[in-house]
Structure 1
Amino acid sequence: MFSCTSSPSRGRPDAGSDASSDSVDLIDADADAGNPEDCRQRLFEDVMIPVGDGAQLAAFVVRPANPACRVPVVLVQTPYGKQNFRAEFFDNPVAEHPLFQSRDYGFVVLDWRGFFGSSNAPAVSLTRGYGEDGYDVVGWIARQPWSDGSVGTWGVSALCRVQYQTAVLRPAALKAAVPIFCQMNYTYLETYPGGVIRREYMQFLGAYFGAGVWEAHPTRDTWWTWAERYYNPSDVAAPMMVVAGWFDLYNTGGIDTYHELVAGSDPAVRDGHRLLAGPWHHYASGGESTGTRPLTEQEMLWFDGTREIERWSLRFFDAHLRGLSGAGWDDRVVFRAANEADWETSLEWPPADVTEHAWSLSTDGALRESGATVGVRTLPVNPFDPSPTLGGQTLLSTYDHGPTRQDEVVAREDAAVFVTGPVSTPLRLTGLARVELTASVTTIDGDVAVRLTDVDPEGNHTLITDGIARLSLPSPYDTRTLLTPLAPVEVRVDLTNHVAWTVQPGHRLGLIVTGSNYARFDVNPHNGAAFFTGAGVAADLTLQLGPEAVLRVQIR
């Protein structure tokens, strides 16, 4: 492992794309293109692209004005409006976008069928989905006179998942893909971490795509078995650079997908897959969807302001679309921890040098490596006044995104707070974390929610990641068994995200335990119902503390 102290695209004037500060000239297709001497000048052209069922899909093309120029092409497929994408990534006069300002590529940005300019296209069906459209569009691009026949795909969130749907159909011209902040398949734990539905996530999906199918399967039944295997990594025959954010809601699913690709994709491309991970929330790259508000000052701390995602994407495309030998990199994993300046590389994730460290929850509020005192802590849990979600792995714009101060959570009577002593050397959290303890509740069901925090010298808790467990629905989440009130239950809470976070000297590691975390997770009504629909009862949650109540974290 070694540190990379500079951006991947800097300091390489003779290798990789020319994405210098000289902007690419962009003109509309009906403008006079003149007689350009090179491929610098580009045309914007609105097109309708035919696909296999006879539909026409709306797109714009950015291509060389010089008809003699043939370039590799990057395809973006979006449900959020191609014009919105153009406004941010091509027309924004102040934003730097190294990939989309590159002179070495053409671009096609497409409205999904049923959305925006493609709203008149027939809806998706059992035989025609977004992946089939992607397959046809990749072929269309490869046949255009301004294309050199090599196509890559790029995109975030929904624009990410459609890349997997396209890739598994193996379009011949698809040579590389950069799926950012998503995972290949829908999974139970993506939707129901710890057996509890992610309520604000469902609110977002319901607004755009409908959420009924997910709510119809609150246990891990055969539908989930089918959904989790719907797309097969073995059908992927193009190298992929999977991008994950430590504070993104798809963090674990994206990293799991990367591991599945390395182990199970077409053998010819397994060595080409890469993982890029950094201190980003879901909106860190900008322009993912419409209707989002401006990011706050706190959220901008975890925004990709230096466009590292695009810089690494450009380098990945240079290696696989342009065949530049100096553009690739050997180590499979490139990552940067929160609160660290340097990029690091590793052959695997988590890195081979991580170890698991344990702290016990003591009755005096300490996280102790030894000597934790035994006792209980009882917390009130009111479904009509739940512990509020403050930041984290959120999607809806009504909630903060990423690491956020937990002042309101800590101040409530329904929170049990535990902290280590101040660390004297950097404590590098690197990988996964979980909490194991015994709990009981006065009703027939309950939840245990935990938040892992960084505590500054003034005692302020900043969220790193969180997790929850429904007591009636333990792993493997296929059978709900209602509780006997007050009967002790062994609980394991897996925190939802992989983390790379450095607790700096003088700071402390913190853990907040509550009976809810709404609206990131649904409220437990405590009456045996799978969801909170307005009816519920209050409960008391009792935690058994001492050496057997343990926080386990992977560290370096």
Structure 2
Amino acid sequence: MMKPFALALCALSLSVTMTGIGAVASAAAAPAEADFARYQPAATYDGISSSSLYVPMRDGVRLAVRIDRPTQGGKLVEGRFPVIWHHTLSISQQTSDGAGGRVSDFRRVQELVRHGYVVVQVARRGNGQSTGVRRGYHDRNEAQDAFDMTQWLARQPWSTGKVGVYGCSNTGDAALHVMTMRPPALAAVFAGCFSWHKYDAFRRGGIFAQWGTGPTRTVEDDMKLSPVDGDEGKTILREAAEEHQLSTPLFEMWKQLPYRDSWSSLVASRFWAEGSAASYAEQIRLSGVPLYIQGGWRDELRDQAFIAHANVPGSRVVIGPWKHCDSDDFTLLEEMHRFFDRHLKGVDTGIDKDAPIHYYTVNAPEGTQWRATAQWPLPQARMQPLFLNGAALSPRAARARPVSFTARYDVACPDAGSGSRVQPCHVAGSGASMAGPALAADTEVTGNAIADLWIASDQPDANIFAYLEDVAPDGSVTVVTEGRLKASLRKEATAPWTMPEGVPWHRAYAQDAQPLKPGEAVRLRFDMMPTSYVFRKGHRMQITLTGSDHRERARDIATPPRITLYSDPARPSSVAIPVIPAGR
């Protein structure tokens, strides 16, 4: 259990000087397993043969399938192999498919063909070369397709009957939905950067401030794709491209769903529930299928990895300093190979002896960045409250004047990236920033920070964003992690699934909405997404609060609210930071 501990301070002036929260010690790094991300068996075959075809589904929709099989000396190798497949957006692996164009090993899974696998790409209905209409985004039509496809692959003459699934981003979600259907042939799933519950991913804190809205493609876009074998004239591709235009416009669907229990007339469903793996958690557990989860500290969905891990017994997590679906120079493919060899071939790869969670600590001493743990949150973490007292952070509540600012709807962040890898950023003057004194020692923060704020607004609602930031001695600011909450959806509840210890949860049903009364202070509690980061000696921790974010889409508060932050003994605003004490 995480417990608070004392913070040593020396008051030198109105700007206090922090002498240390908890210095990083080299002993904090757990011994790394010998085989973690170092699995390099020799290739058995020297080439790959690709072919494609259409597979009809129960309702006549034809799914495009690309099959990569091993060759030796230029000849197709006969025999049976385990199958790994990817429920994607086109069999061509476009950048928008969730595996193409990124610095990611998800794009390299075909290399496992040389190690005795068949690797298969399947375009989801209403996407890519497949025919049909996309009703929602990971709806039960797609889930049934995934069941049927898994079993079809198991029956093929080149298949051993053991089938694995992989994917990242939208295809990571698709991989989870295969598990919800419990196909008998499914033996392992490797999924990255997915949502456990779509509301918490797409409308985090009740606010639509995220890049993900799903694919939108024109007929011309689809016609640029490579056709399936036998359709060189693109007759079926043309049919598919035209059918796709009847698909549900996903952005319009998301805008119809401001609450977790909202109904979409476009799909005749409370789609947050229908399209979320969390709704089928018991089916996932009953499947007993091993799950390996990949995440990144700079990915919008990183909290979903730990929530999924807490709800799927036996699951594993690897999370590094990466953006969405990236793995940079980390040998993720070797870890995927090790996982699939264990569960699809029965090879003792050593993975069963590993701790279930591997995480990277940013700015940790060289050689100690990768850590391993059996528990999350870390049992040694101590929640240290930092009180937002006027213009500064301090270890205890004090009577401070309220701080007011007006939400800015003109905020921009030109260097934040684009698409699925867009990042939060510090925009000077966009809200209120409160910094602590310079740190006297390197200080590790690992886990979820928890914001506990008292605010008022001159409007019936306000979108509250909180950022934990690292201020360097030269004044440059780095956003370490973030959280957000729509003030009207502040009512807390008990989640219907396991949450990491101490993380608040908001049901956010329509009946839970509590509009603000102008000038009346209310309490908001919400988490910041998990991180593992070392604030270096001489740097300062800073909390910035704003009423807007450059990533907001479909903003639903027309007039920028005037927001007031209170911090006094009766209304103490704070952010509790999960600090790893020195020597732990």
Task: Please tell me whether residue 279 in structure 1 is matched to residue 303 in structure 2.
Answer: no
**Paired residue for 1:194?**
205
1:501 to 1:7, Cα distance in 2 relative to 1, 3 A:
farther
Matches of residues 219-238 of structure 1 in structure 2 within 5 Å?
219-221=259-261, 223=270, 226-227=273-274, 230-232=279-281, 233-238=284-289
Residue 176 of structure 1: how far off its partner (Å): 0.4
Whether the 8 Å CA contact 1:334–1:345 is kept in 2: the answer is yes
**Paired residue for 1:379?**
405
Residue 94 of structure 1: how far off its partner (Å): 12
Length, aligned pairs only:
481
**Paired residue for 1:70?**
80
Whether the 8 Å CA contact 1:98–1:314 is kept in 2: the answer is no
Residue 391 of structure 1: how far off its partner (Å): 7.3
**Paired residue for 2:306?**
255
1:94 to 1:154, Cα distance in 2 relative to 1, 3 A:
closer
- What does the per-residue CA deviation read over 1:140-185, in whole Å, with 9 as the maximum and x for residues that have no partner? 2222232222211111111111112212222222110011100244
In the aligned structure 2, how far is the partner of 1:96 from the partner of 1:443?
A: 45
Task: Please tell me whether residue 541 in structure 1 is matched to residue 563 in structure 2.
Answer: yes
1:350 to 1:419, Cα distance in 2 relative to 1, 3 A:
same
Whether the 8 Å CA contact 1:332–1:347 is kept in 2: the answer is yes
Q: Tell me the SS of whatever aligns to 1:168.
A: helix
Q: Which amino acid aligns with 2:258?
A: P
Residue 7 of structure 1: how far off its partner (Å): 7.3
The gaps in structure 2 that reach 5 residues or longer are: 1-28, 218-247, 263-269, 492-505
Deviates more, 1:83-92 or 1:140-149: 83-92
Whether the 8 Å CA contact 1:389–1:517 is kept in 2: the answer is no
1:206 to 1:338, Cα distance in 2 relative to 1, 3 A:
farther
1:491 to 1:331, Cα distance in 2 relative to 1, 3 A:
same
Q: Which one of the candidate residues 323, 329, 332 is aligned to 1:309?
A: 332
1:481 to 1:87, Cα distance in 2 relative to 1, 3 A:
closer
Q: Which amino acid aligns with 1:195?
A: G
In the aligned structure 1, how far is the partner of 2:194 from the partner of 2:414?
A: 22
**Paired residue for 2:502?**
none
**Paired residue for 2:111?**
101
Q: Which one of the candidate residues 38, 49, 74 is aligned to 1:43?
A: 49
Deviates more, 1:165-174 or 1:352-361: 165-174
1:238 to 1:509, Cα distance in 2 relative to 1, 3 A:
same
In the aligned structure 1, how far is the partner of 2:185 from the partner of 2:90?
A: 25
Aligned-residue CA RMSD (Å): 3.4
Higher relative contact order (CA 8 A, sep 6+): 2
Residue 221 of structure 1: how far off its partner (Å): 3.0
Residue 241 of structure 1: how far off its partner (Å): 0.2
Whether the 8 Å CA contact 2:64–2:91 is kept in 1: the answer is no
In the aligned structure 1, how far is the partner of 2:162 from the partner of 2:176?
A: 17
- What does the per-residue CA deviation read over 1:450-481, in whole Å, with 9 as the maximum and x for residues that have no partner? 11111111111111222222222312433323
Deviates more, 1:321-330 or 1:175-184: 321-330
Matches of residues 358-397 of structure 1 in structure 2 within 5 Å?
358-363=385-390, 365-370=391-396, 372=398, 374-382=400-408, 385-388=409-412, 397=419
Whether the 8 Å CA contact 1:154–1:177 is kept in 2: the answer is yes
Residue 99 of structure 1: how far off its partner (Å): 4.0
Q: Which one of the candidate residues 136, 153, 156 is aligned to 2:148?
A: 136
**Paired residue for 2:525?**
492
**Paired residue for 1:336?**
360
Deviates more, 1:426-435 or 1:229-238: 229-238
In the aligned structure 2, how far is the partner of 1:85 from the partner of 1:224?
A: 26
1:459 to 1:240, Cα distance in 2 relative to 1, 3 A:
same
Whether the 8 Å CA contact 2:397–2:567 is kept in 1: the answer is no
Q: Which amino acid aligns with 1:470?
A: K
In the aligned structure 1, how far is the partner of 2:322 from the partner of 2:100?
A: 22
Q: Which one of the candidate residues 392, 397, 401 is aligned to 2:422?
A: 401
Q: Which amino acid aligns with 2:250?
A: G
Task: Please tell me whether residue 460 in structure 1 is matched to residue 482 in structure 2.
Answer: no
- What does the per-residue CA deviation read over 1:110-145, in whole Å, with 9 as the maximum and x for residues that have no partner? 111221211x34656999712222222222222223
1:172 to 1:197, Cα distance in 2 relative to 1, 3 A:
same
Q: Tell me the SS of whatever aligns to 2:320.
A: strand
In the aligned structure 1, how far is the partner of 2:328 from the partner of 2:85?
A: 23
Q: Tell me the SS of whatever aligns to 1:57.
A: strand
In the aligned structure 2, how far is the partner of 1:3 from the partner of 1:241?
A: 20
Q: Which amino acid aligns with 2:552?
A: R
Q: Tell me the SS of whatever aligns to 1:101.
A: helix
Task: Please tell me whether residue 516 in structure 1 is matched to residue 565 in structure 2.
Answer: no
In the aligned structure 2, how far is the partner of 1:401 from the partner of 1:193?
A: 16
1:374 to 1:91, Cα distance in 2 relative to 1, 3 A:
closer
Q: Tell me the SS of whatever aligns to 1:117.
A: coil
Residue 63 of structure 1: how far off its partner (Å): 0.5
Q: Which amino acid aligns with 1:49?
A: V
Q: Tell me the SS of whatever aligns to 2:51.
A: strand
In the aligned structure 1, how far is the partner of 2:567 from the partner of 2:151?
A: 61
Task: Please tell me whether residue 246 in structure 1 is matched to residue 297 in structure 2.
Answer: yes
**Paired residue for 2:373?**
346
In the aligned structure 2, how far is the partner of 1:487 from the partner of 1:91?
A: 49
Whether the 8 Å CA contact 1:97–1:310 is kept in 2: the answer is no
In the aligned structure 2, how far is the partner of 1:327 from the partner of 1:178?
A: 17
Q: Which amino acid aligns with 2:483?
A: G
Residue 435 of structure 1: how far off its partner (Å): 1.8
Whether the 8 Å CA contact 1:56–1:121 is kept in 2: the answer is yes
Whether the 8 Å CA contact 1:244–1:251 is kept in 2: the answer is yes
Q: Percent identity?
A: 22
Residue 81 of structure 1: how far off its partner (Å): 4.6
Q: Which amino acid aligns with 2:422?
A: H
